[in-house]
Amino acid sequence: MAIDNVDIGGTEFAGAMKVRFADVEISTYSNGGEDFGPSDAGMHRYQFVDANVADGSGLVANYDYNAETIRLYQQTDTDAGGAGVQELTEATGVDATVKVMVMGR
């Protein structure tokens, strides 16, 4: 696992659900994404996860519910001249901060 730090910024309660905000720092990326399960946010299960890269690196974050991972993508140019995205392969020196909002129990 290459997530360097998870800083839980706060907790709100929306009815019976918790809402947590976290800054997830990633410096080395593993194929298939970085593990970020409910226990990483002090929960038993997620009902919603929103992940966004906050550092202007040009990367895009997405949460994979089945694998419980944060995946990072980079913008690429396609042969047709349009823009596309491609998941990062295993990489070092990524240095991305992902702002994550999770809702769950």
Give the model's pLDDT for residue 56: 77
Give the model's pLDDT for residue 57: 78
Q: Is 100 exposed, middle or buried (0-12, 13-18, 19+ CB in 10 A)?
A: buried
Give the model's pLDDT for residue 37: 94
- Alpha-carbon Rg of the chain, whole angstroms? 14
Domains held by the chain: number: 1
Give the model's pLDDT for residue 2: 60
Give the model's pLDDT for residue 91: 75
| Residues spanned by the domain of 30 | 3-104
Q: One digit per residue, pLDDT tens: the chain, 105 residues?
A: 466 777 777 676 767 888 889 999 998 898 889 999 999 998 999 999 999 999 777 889 999 999 999 999 987 766 656 567 888 888 777 888 999 999 998
